Chain A
């Protein structure tokens, strides 16, 4: 596995803000998000629907849907700033340096072109290969993602494949030009549970072999625990906690993460009731002052109502919670979170 601390980061996201201008004012959907991904590292991004995780992914690949736009911060890939590139420059990076995988393999592929044609087209867009070389590479990719009988299947159309097979094709398409980073937005959500594990295992294996970093956006903690090196937990457009996967899963530092972990059933342990976090994530128009999580937080103090916490060191992780403000005042000490 990669060691994030030694290498210069592959992807740096600094103070990223994504806005949606609406008739009733501007909504801040991603608010001051910063994180790094090291070469070959898998960063999981979790959160509820609307937490801003997919938008963060889309902002990185430069495909925010209008009227959404990057309002601040910067994104750097291999040290080069990419968030302000003209469309044509960014297009050359997409698919070449950054691959993408979307949620629904049933709709990600153009129904009118054979998968071979879609692969060859992508390969030739980014690599200087002849038609037959590109086809050879397409065939190799299909074999690599585990399409049985790839020689025959290459000329088949998307509707002739099952959902799991189509997601394998989508992964092959993302890998066409051997990108350094793959942004995978809920890659298994639309699949059968039995297929999910296969696809995750495949993604993990391929990225290890190709030394490709992955930003894995999902709301499935099981997938994250199995795959990711580090996890970022998002809540209401901000990162609530980020850290090595073991620490975040086993010793959550943010009350929200704690609640999230408590809501996952585990085998072998008898629960009478899974813990749940009361209330719901606020809508973007109704984010409370102070910490966005404060209405639902059982450790809420005076400070949480007025002052917004930034990420601060909490064990091996960093959490945006006043509980971890060492010199701080106002927040009650929650021993289980601070010393866990």
Chain B
């Protein structure tokens, strides 16, 4: 098991190096950073001087190593747009995105999984068929459309919930949170639903098909023959056996929630990193883009590592001494 974790860690580092290389090459190949920094009346000599001063004339591998060692220390340079340190920009924005993604994930998990269990247990009931049909809408409507529709109904017509922003937030150290004020919580509802709806339908459909599969197995029939209660069978024996694929998908989707919160954040003017990224793209603010890229890479790697460890917790067959888990996919 320890060998397996070490191997995974090495793989993670390799992935991060690759992401780092891509982020680094942004600097070299997406426009000339000097042009973005200086005014039009700067002479060629001044530009060359600045270039040397910033180390842009050094060989590429040395620049890459310098970039990596800076990044490892959380130093991503200054934003071209605001001249603030990129690290600080991202740290300021990160809590908003993390809280939004967290709520969306909770929404997807705690609504999607029970719905999947229900539709898996009673596949022929009319309400299961209805949920199945509705989930098709959830899976095929684009996120921005759902967001705009929700705003139209709950903010414009009903005036129940705010249509943009985070509402009032409370500062705890460097972390700003929505969870401690009523307006903050209210502001979370619509964006969370918008962001989580796709994942919810995905999870529901996944759990449903896994449940249908598991309910046909001999050990479920044998559990019935042992006279176990329906509760123990459905939520103990059956649901647990659907968990490995559900954990995989949830993990990947959590990464996706954070990375692709961009659209939702844009629709709801949510001051998170996604919005920061969009603004940076418009401005070719390469240090921010590179840092964002690395950050998302890091998140995905961490989530995957957690998912792999969760497999061990769920499935005793993977805990055997010989080698790591056999997994399909990644």
Contacts and interface: CB of A to CB of B under 8 A. Distances in A.
Given A100-B222, A125-B232, A111 B316 contact: yes
A176 B225 contact: no
B224 A102 contact: no
A232 to B, nearest CB: 21
B217 A125 contact: no
B316 A125 contact: no
B317 A100 contact: no
A216 interface: no
B317 A111 contact: yes
Interface in B194-230: 217-219, 221-230
Contacts of B236: 121
B237 interface: yes
A95 B316 CA distance: 26
B315 interface: yes
A114 interface: yes
A110 B227 contact: no
Contacts of B222: 100, 102, 108-109, 170, 173
B232 A107 contact: no
B91 interface: no
Contacts of A110: 219, 223, 237, 241
Interface residues of B, number: 23
Contact of B217 (A99, A107, A126, A157): A107
Given A107-B217, A109-B219, A112-B240, A121 B228 contact: yes
Interface in A102-137: 102, 104, 107-114, 121-122, 125-126
B325 to A, nearest CB: 13
A259 B187 CA distance: 80
B219 A107 contact: yes
Nearest to B217: A107
Contacts of A108: 218-219, 222
A102 B232 contact: no
B314 interface: yes
A126 B237 CA distance: 18
B231 to A, nearest CB: 11
A91 interface: yes
Interface string B225-253: 11111101000110011000000000000
A100 B225 contact: yes
Contact of B227 (A94, A109, A113, A114): A94
Interface string A69-107: 000000000000000000000011111100110101001
Contacts of A112: 240-241, 314-316
A140 B314 CA distance: 28
A46 to B, nearest CB: 21
Given A107-B217, A108-B218, A110-B241, A176 B317 contact: no
Contact of B225 (A94, A109, A111, A159): A94
B218 A104 contact: yes
Nearest to B223: A110
Contacts of A107: 217-219
B219 A92 contact: no
A91 B226 CA distance: 8
A111 B244 CA distance: 13
Contacts of A174: 226
A37 to B, nearest CB: 17
A142 to B, nearest CB: 16
B226 A125 contact: yes
B317 A95 contact: no
Given A107-B217, A112-B316, A63 B224 contact: yes
A61 interface: yes
A92 to B, nearest CB: 6
18 contacts: A63-B225, A91-B224, A91-B230, A94-B224, A94-B226, A96-B227, A102-B221, A102-B225, A107-B218, A107-B219, A108-B218, A109-B219, A110-B219, A110-B241, A112-B316, A125-B227, A125-B228, A159-B320
Given A94-B227, A113-B237, 5 more contacts: A91-B230, A109-B222, A112-B240, A112-B241, A121-B236
Smallest CB-CB A-B distances: 3 pairs? A95-B227, A100-B225, A107-B218
